[in-house]
Amino acid sequence: MAELQEQRLAAQTEKLRAEARKANAEALKAEAEAAKAAAEAAQAEIVLAERRRAETETLTGDKFYRIYRFNAPVSASSVQDCLGRLNYWNRTDPGCAIEIIFCSPGGSVIDGMVLYDYLQALRAQGHHVTTSTMGMAASMAGILLQAGDTRVMHREAWMLIHEMSFGAIGKMGDIEDTVDWAKRIQERILDIFAARCKLAGENGTARKPLTRAQLKKRWTRKDWWLASSECLELGLVDAIR
């Protein structure tokens, strides 16, 4: 009889132990699931924070406000990069306001004129184009500064105007032909500057707008550096920021 009671007690004890083991396993499983859920929630919060940060960067970036920073010499590659962005804005947001900020030492006249003509096309399609400079708009960059509806210089920026520079090689006749062609380009550049100076005078933003003859005289055989205040007075820009 005592032996039977011991067996029953042992069985009950083992049953209780099994139930305890089962309860402990279930508790460990629940704890693991809770930890997994917490990790997933933390990961979701990280992803959400990254998305919010990316959205904030997009909404505060230059591209969102249609601002392009031209911080390079004027060359085929730099112009193509700029044209790609401008073309995208033109197709996705017709008529939007666009600003190009130049900080450039200048460069290729022919490549620069590609961008100049494209900016005129954008203006004709209804975009208000602002051309501005921080640092410097030198040589070809100074010409490109004239391409906008509104031309702006930051207070400590500088503009460089000078005669066209180029190289020529070949027979004497070839060189003479190249020089004649360069002179024709230079006359067109003078026309661009003179027309914008005259318009600034008519609009009342320039106190002493330069004439074509004055421009040609001042830039001949020299590098002519102008501060922002001088550019505003002479009609080379419309405003100073």
Where among 28, 60, 92 does a domain terminate? 60
Please state the domain count of the chain: 2
For residues 189 and 98, state if they share a domain: yes
Residue 124: per-residue pLDDT: 97
Residue 175: per-residue pLDDT: 67
For residues 144 and 217, state if they share a domain: yes
- How far apart CA 64 and CA 93 sit, in angstroms, is 11
For residues 140 and 227, state if they share a domain: yes
For residues 24 and 105, state if they share a domain: no
Which tokens hold the place of 148?
A: 């906008």
Domain boundaries, position 26? 1-60
3-state SS, one letter per residue, for the chain = CHHHHHHHHHHHHHHHHHHHHHHHHHHHHHHHHHHHHHHHHHHHHHHHHHHHHHHHHHHHCCCCCCEEEECCCECHHHHHHHHHHHHHHHHHCCCCCEEEEEEECCECHHHHHHHHHHHHHHHHCCCCEEEEEEEEEECHHHHHHCCCCEEEECCCCEEEECCCCCCCCCCHHHHHHHHHHHHHHHHHHHHHHHHHHHHHHHHCCCCCCCCHHHHHHHHCCCCEEEEHHHHHHHCCCCEEC
Residue 195: per-residue pLDDT: 96
For residues 35 and 139, state if they share a domain: no
For residues 75 and 107, state if they share a domain: yes
For residues 48 and 20, state if they share a domain: yes
For residues 144 and 27, state if they share a domain: no
For residues 168 and 216, state if they share a domain: yes
Residue 16: per-residue pLDDT: 66
For residues 140 and 39, state if they share a domain: no
pLDDT tens for the chain, 241 residues: list them.
666 676 676 667 777 677 777 777 777 787 777 777 777 777 777 766 676 666 566 556 788 899 999 999 999 999 999 999 999 999 999 999 999 999 999 999 999 999 999 999 999 999 999 999 999 999 999 999 999 999 999 999 999 999 876 555 666 765 677 678 878 889 999 999 999 999 999 999 999 999 999 998 888 878 999 999 999 999 999 999 9
For residues 117 and 73, state if they share a domain: yes
For residues 40 and 71, state if they share a domain: no
Residue 25: per-residue pLDDT: 76
Where among 32, 60, 88 does a domain terminate? 60
Residue 167: per-residue pLDDT: 57
Residue 182: per-residue pLDDT: 77
Q: Which CATH number does the domain housing residue 235 bear?
A: 3.90.226.10
- How far apart CA 106 and CA 58 sit, in angstroms, is 30
Where among 18, 41, 60 does a domain terminate? 60
